[in-house]
Structure 1
Amino acid sequence: MAQTAPAVIEERTTLRDLDWNYALLQVVTEPAVAETADEMTWYRLIDLAVVRSLGLMGQTIACDILKVDGLQCYVRVAAGEQFREFCSAISGFWVDNRTLALVEGAQRVGLQVARTSPFAQGIVGPARGWAAQAQ
């Protein structure tokens, strides 16, 4: 009697048309301060950045603050063109802190995009690959 090999079931998963992209944002201050920013400060900074750069259309971009860690913030933004517009608005943002008093001890406050990824795991943890070599 001939023995037959057990059937191997192969499963594959393909991810297409992701709804969200993730970004790690950082507050940049002049002069540098060790102060932290809370959730409301982050909300105001992000709102100021997108409205100043994109106007009323900037307020329509879906953005969720996932975690605030001092001067870093993890956000989830709608994927596609909105994510690219969001990142460009954040990257070029600077504001005079003396009038708004967002971060104590700083004269100017800006935002920068530290990392982006289509997956949340891509922005958490130490930098890997070429990003680690660039630092």
Structure 2
Amino acid sequence: MTAETVPAPRSANAARKSGRGINWEKWGWIYMRVSGVILIILIFGHLFVNLVAGDGVSAIDFAFVAGKWADPFWVVWDTALLWLALIHGSNGMRTLVNDYATNPRVRKILLGAIFASTAILLVLGTLVIYTLDPCPSIEDVSLLPSFCGAN
């Protein structure tokens, strides 16, 4: 059994390797800390407006969400919450895969699945937030929610 030596962090080999490209691990680490702090603010604001202010959880329905998303402030708030939370979670999953997946092929497949699912959920979630029309123009007015009235 031979012992491999790891070069000192500030050695010539380590400096040469770290000088190439972007240090994704460092930026991922910074992102997790910054997004975590911002997410705490966004989540507690979201919970306060949805559960504490007004009539609580019994008031949350399609009309509540549609009314909330009629205000551009809440559209931006919920979009930021969606993006930060999904990227924060996928970055955490990426870290777990890098730590525990020892087979390079399995690691590549898992990282691809994380990236693909994150991208799909970001696109679909953003589309829902920005394209929701609670009162579309349709022929049969009886199909519309009660708060829309006759168009």
- The TM-score normalised by the length of structure 1 is 0.28
Which structure has more strand as a fraction of its residues? Answer: 1
Which structure has more helix as a fraction of its residues? Answer: 2
- The TM-score normalised by the length of structure 2 is 0.26
Structure of higher CA gyration radius: 2
